[in-house]
Structure formats: structure tokens, C-alpha cells
């Protein structure tokens, strides 16, 4: 695949204040690719996503998003947080949440227009929740809320999509619906970075894997990165085994 690069990490280190959280990340996410960030708790997956959003500074090396420093690319980047971090009692409808994806495009002071409403309705239909448009956001299930947040990101028509553990607590059917939507967006040319703890899912559905634990253990096609040696190194020894038919996660 020789598509243009969308996100380029060049020996990037990310630090909170003076404490380095993540070092030596090096690799490229091309347009239309889905790359998974995997690694144990505290590995730095969320940190890397925050760095891609320009919310945590790059201490050394560089990160470029769509050819620019992360903080300057934010208008073309959509971020999907974990749905369970949001207040379920907030008085906002599903349709309004999706429309929020358009706000940056609409700009200050102007109200949403016809095109914005259409884009929001289309995005909601794409995640299969058009019939819930008028319901309050908090009345949806966890998996449905996650799909609404994905719809909000799609409505923004981003060139890059960043998702932080979108599959947590989501059942297999909703997971499939989320994945199908993410794939469609990637097929349209967006670069997708998704953090997950589900190695099987990452292996089966992603074009690339970035294996992290405070520094990078591998960045490349699943077959090259999700190897027993690299996984053991990243997860600290004994936790994981690979079988020949796909991935088997086991304790030894």
C-alpha cells in the first residue's frame, strides 16, 4: 500500500511535565489504514492518542498529523472518547450529540444549517441508530452510546479518526456494527488509530499494530508485531501465547 502518509511518528517521546510516559515511537499510519494501539494498562495508549490531539506535548522527536503539528490539525481530526465517561443524565438528545460533530465546521456564533442536520442524520443512520434520534442520550445502552459517539465523529467528516478503547463493555453485535462503520470510514480514505485491549480483534481487523509499553515494541503488520516474543516482551513475560489458528491468549 503506497497511499499518502496521514500520521507520522518520528522517534517521538511524550512526557507529562518532566516524567516521560512514552518513548521512541516510530512509524507511519497511511490514509485508509486502521492501526491498533495495544499494550498493558499504563502502557501509554491513551497518552499517545492525547499526543495526536496535541493535548500532551511531544518531548523529543516529532509527531505529524496530516502534515502538520498535532495541535494545528485538530479541525480535521475526530476523537471518540469512551461513552462511559459522559454524564448519562445530561439533557441532550441523540440527534444533538451527533450534530455536535459539526460544530467546529459551523464555527462560532452561527447556528447549524440544513447541510449539518443532513450530515448528522446520515452519520446516525450509518451506525444504525436513526430511529433513536429523538431519545435522550442517556437512555441508550452503553454500546449504543458508543455508536452515537462514533456517529458524531463521522459527522465531522474527519481525515483522521482517533478512538480510545471504543470496544470496552460493548457486546459482539455492537462491536461488529462499530467495526463496520470504522472500516467504511477508512475505505473513504481516513486514517484510523484505535486503542484496544482485545488482541484478537486487533489482529483480525487492523492493517497495522503499534505495540507499546512505555516505549515501542513493534509497529507494523499484525503478523510481524503480534509475535510471541514481542508480546512477551511488552506484556512482561508469561501472559500470552499465540496458536497457529489466530490468536490464543492464555496464562502460563
Partner 1 sequence: MILFSSLGDGYVWRALLEVVIVGVLCGAVGVHVVLRRLSFLTMALTHATFPGVVIATMLGLGLVLGAGLFGVLLVAVVAALTGPRGAEHGRETSSVTAVVLSGGFALGMALMSTQEGFSRDLTAFLVGSVLTVQPSDLVVSAVTTAVVLGVLAALRKELHLAAFDPGAFAAAGYPARRLDLVLLLALEATVVTSLPAVGTIMAVALIVGPAATARLWCSRTATMTAMAIVVGVAAGVIGLAVSEQWNVAAGGAIVLSVAAFFVASLVLQSLPWGEPVAAAVARRKSAGRPTYSG
Ligand X SMILES: Nc1ncnc2c1ncn2[C@@H]1O[C@H](COP(=O)(O)OP(=O)(O)OP(=O)(O)O)[C@@H](O)[C@H]1O
Given the rule CB under 8 A, which residues bind partner 1?
16-17, 53-55, 71, 74-75, 77, 79, 81, 85-87, 90-93, 95-100, 103-104, 106, 108-109, 111-112, 116-117, 120-121, 133-136, 152
* Structure-block grid coordinates of residue 16: 507529562
Q: How far is the CB of 210 from partner 1 (least distance, A)?
A: 19
Residue 249: contacted member of ligand X, partner 1, Mg ion, none (CB under 5 to 8 Å, by partner type): none
Residue 207's nearest CA partner among 182, 243, 229, 244 is 182
How far is 33 from 41, CA to CA, in rounded Å?
25
Return phi, psi of residue 22, to 5°.
-155, 130
Q: How far is the CB of 57 from ligand X (least distance, A)?
A: 12
Residue pair 215/24 in contact by the 8 Å Cβ criterion: yes
Residue 24's nearest CA partner among 12, 42, 8 is 12
Which of 13, 24, 28, 46 is in the footprint of Mg ion by CB under 5 A?
46
How far is 226 from 219, CA to CA, in rounded Å?
10
Angle between helices 172-187 and 142-155 (to 10 degrees): 10
Output 191 or 240, the one with its CB closest to partner 1.
191
With contacts defined by CB under 6 A, name the span among 23-31, 45-53, 67-75, 201-209 that binds ligand X: 45-53
If one asks whether residue 47 binds ligand X (CB under 6 A), the answer comes out as yes
Output 97 or 199, the one with its CB closest to ligand X.
199
Q: How far is the CB of 241 from partner 1 (least distance, A)?
A: 36
If one asks whether residue 42 binds ligand X (CB under 6 A), the answer comes out as yes
Which of 30, 38, 44, 78 is in the footprint of ligand X by CB under 6 A?
44
Residue pair 158/52 in contact by the 8 Å Cβ criterion: no
Amino acid at each position: 500500500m503506497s497511499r499518502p502518509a496521514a500520521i507520522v511518528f518520528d522517534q517521538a517521546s511524550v512526557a507529562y511535565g518532566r516524567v516521560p510516559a512514552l518513548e521512541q515511537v516510530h512509524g507511519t499510519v497511511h490514509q485508509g489504514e486502521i492501526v491498533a494501539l495495544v499494550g498493558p494498562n499504563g502502557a501509554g495508549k491513551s497518552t499517545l492518542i492525547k499526543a495526536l490531539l496535541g493535548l500532551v506535548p511531544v518531548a523529543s522527536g516529532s509527531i505529524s498529523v496530516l502534515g502538520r503539528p498535532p495541535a494545528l490539525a485538530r479541525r480535521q481530526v475526530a476523537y471518540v472518547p469512551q461513552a462511559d465517561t459522559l454524564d448519562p443524565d445530561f439533557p441532550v438528545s441523540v440527534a444533538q450529540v451527533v450534530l455536535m460533530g459539526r460544530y467546529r465546521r459551523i464555527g462560532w456564533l452561527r447556528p447549524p444549517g440544513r447541510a449539518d442536520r443532513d450530515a448528522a442524520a446520515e452519520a446516525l443512520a450509518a451506525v444504525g441508530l436513526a430511529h433513536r434520534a429523538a431519545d435522550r442520550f442517556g437512555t441508550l445502552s452503553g454500546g449504543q452510546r458508543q455508536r452515537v459517539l462514533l456517529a458524531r465523529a463521522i459527522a465531522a467528516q474527519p481525515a483522521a479518526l482517533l478512538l480510545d478503547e471504543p470496544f470496552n463493555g460493548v457486546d459482539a453485535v455492537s462491536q461488529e456494527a462499530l467495526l463496520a462503520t470504522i472500516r467504511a470510514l477508512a475505505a473513504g480514505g481516513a486514517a484510523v488509530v484505535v486503542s484496544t485491549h482485545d488482541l484478537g480483534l486487533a489482529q483480525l481487523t487492523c492493517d497495522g499494530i503499534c505495540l507499546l509499553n512505555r516505549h515501542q515494541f513493534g509497529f507494523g503488520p499484525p503478523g510481524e508485531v503480534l509475535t510471541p516474543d514481542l508480546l512477551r516482551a511488552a506484556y512482561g513475560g508469561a501472559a500470552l501465547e499465540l496458536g497457529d489458528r489466530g490468536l490464543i491468549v492464555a496464562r502460563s
